[in-house]
Amino acid sequence: MSTSRATIRDLRRRNRSMLLRRLFFAGPLGRQELARQTGLSSATVTNVMSALLAEGVVVEAGVEESDGGRPRVLLRVNGNHRLVAGVDVGETRVRVELFDLAMRKRAGSEVAIHPAHHEPGVIVEAISKGLGRAMSDCSADIDSILGIGVGVPGVVESFGEQVVHAPGFGWSHVPFGGMLASRTGLPVLVDNGAKTMGQAEMWFGAGRGVQHAAIVLLGTGVGAAIFTDGSLYRGATSSAGELGHTSVVVGGRHCRCGANGCLEAYVGSGAILERWAQLSGQRFPPDEDEEATLKGLLSGTQEDGAASTLLDETAVYIGVGIGNLVNLFNPERIVIGGWVGLLLGPALLPRIRDAAAAQALNYPFGRVSIELGRLGSDAVALGAATLVAEQFLTHSDGPLRQRESQPSTVGGSVSNSAALETARSHQP
């Protein structure tokens, strides 16, 4: 009897999740259309929608005229039902943003951190402070927040305790998810920042509508999120996508990971500025903002031969890395994001494409598009927030859970390109 009850409960949960996901990605929809798209019976759709309406998870969104019959009531996910928090942990700041369940940003706060102090406790406190400020800005209380998603640099053991290995921060086996959950009292989901950015671009940005993609983050570090058949490829230990630590020069520049010749040692923000110093004989003050310095290099390339040479070389290194992705994974689309990627991309993209074409095999390169990300500086935090939203869509009838040992699917049961194309109504 207990097994039978469990089976019925699991079936109801699956039906609920299927319908809620469909509304999230493709809504608003009427009950008849939900039944048609999911294959569930009209009675099942009516029962599930009645429960979701009563809980306030779903709301009516107007009516749709029908051919000769009664107008059909349209339903959508209630964006105001709860909030989700997304966090982008960077080298010099922590960004905390609050989104509603329509993934519209409600508030955000940035907390500066010292580039030499990335101790786990420091980051936990910075997130807590940023969350408090964001909650105050939109008059939210802690009970209105479903959970916190966090994008961090480094490798995240994404099952179980969410242990983080971040050599750039000096972290090894840090149970960061549990630490932040204890500090805030909220459920926490942690993932690599490139992977959260990748999920955001696949759900709402430049990756929408494709099944095979590589989303590249260029910032202080370099990473990538690889999607195949609509699913995020993690590898055996969740470290797949460490593009920055693939070798582009044998015996080349020393990388902070301890190896030599890594892509990050040439196109990470600090590496670009170090290379500029070598080319020009100049050094920028250690307390000067890296973004402002890179903007200055871009604006001065016409008069500064060293800056022009530096950017040409940077485009080649990025293009070589992208060409390697084409050869290894055969994606339909490669998206370049991250603050360095979005800063340099508009000027360098043609040269990056040329360098990638020279590196990649002709046939797969002829069938891949290389584009810039569309979500700007919010992409990592938005993607982190989708970790919580995705869990809610699966487990809206109970507490958030840790990810199970299975691949992460973009949009879950509606991850196909047609369904992702209908996500336009949810784009922030």
88 and 193 Cβ atoms separated by less than 8 Å: yes
% of the chain at pLDDT higher than 90: 71
Give the least confident one: 80-84, 201-205, 376-380, 423-427.
423-427
pLDDT band at 29 (very low <50, low <70, confident <90, very high): very high
Q: In this predicted model, what pLDDT tens digit does every residue of 47-102 receive, in sequence order?
A: 999 999 999 999 998 887 766 667 889 999 999 999 999 999 998 899 999 999 99
Residue type, 261: G
Q: Is the pLDDT of residue 14 over 80?
A: yes
The residues, ordered by sequence, that sit 6+ positions from 306 with a Cβ below 8 Å of its Cβ are: 276, 279, 280
pLDDT at 163: 93
Which CATH number applies to 2-77: 3.40.50.300, 3.90.600.10, 1.10.10.10, 2.60.40.790?
A: 1.10.10.10
pLDDT at 424: 34
409 and 13 Cβ atoms separated by less than 8 Å: no
User: What mean pLDDT value characterizes the chain?
Assistant: 88
Count the neighbouring beta carbons within 10 Å of the beta carbon of residue 19: 27
* Number of DSSP helices (H) and strands (E) in the chain, helices first: 14, 17
The residues, ordered by sequence, that sit 6+ positions from 215 with a Cβ below 8 Å of its Cβ are: 194, 197, 198, 201, 202, 207, 224, 225, 227, 334, 335, 337, 373
CA distances from 33 to 19, 45, 65, 167, 293 (A): 11, 10, 13, 50, 53
Q: In this predicted model, what pLDDT tens digit does every residue of 147-175 receive, in sequence order?
A: 999 999 989 986 767 899 998 899 999 99
The total number of residues shown for the chain amounts to 428
**Identical fold between 2-77 and 83-198+380-389:** no
Ramachandran class of 300: left when φ > 0, alpha when ψ lies in -120 to 50, beta otherwise: alpha
The structural architecture, per CATH, of the domain 83-198+380-389 is: 2-Layer Sandwich (3.30)
% of the chain at pLDDT higher than 70: 87
183 burial level (CB within 10 Å; 0-12, 13-18, 19+): middle
Q: In this predicted model, what pLDDT tens digit does every residue of 327-377 receive, in sequence order?
A: 999 999 999 999 999 999 999 999 999 999 999 999 999 999 999 999 998
* pTM (global) more than 0.95: no
pLDDT at 299: 79
| Structure tokens, 155 | 């490798």
Q: Is the pLDDT of residue 13 over 50?
A: yes
Q: How far apart are CA 323 and CA 43, in angstroms?
A: 52
Where do the domains of the chain lie? 2-77, 83-198+380-389, 208-373
CATH topology of domain 208-373: Nucleotidyltransferase; domain 5 (3.30.420)
Q: In this predicted model, what pLDDT tens digit does every residue of 262-309 receive, in sequence order?
A: 999 999 999 999 998 888 877 766 656 788 888 888 876 656 678 888
- Mean pLDDT within 244-249: 94
Q: In this predicted model, what pLDDT tens digit does every residue of 100-126 receive, in sequence order?
A: 999 999 999 999 998 888 999 999 999
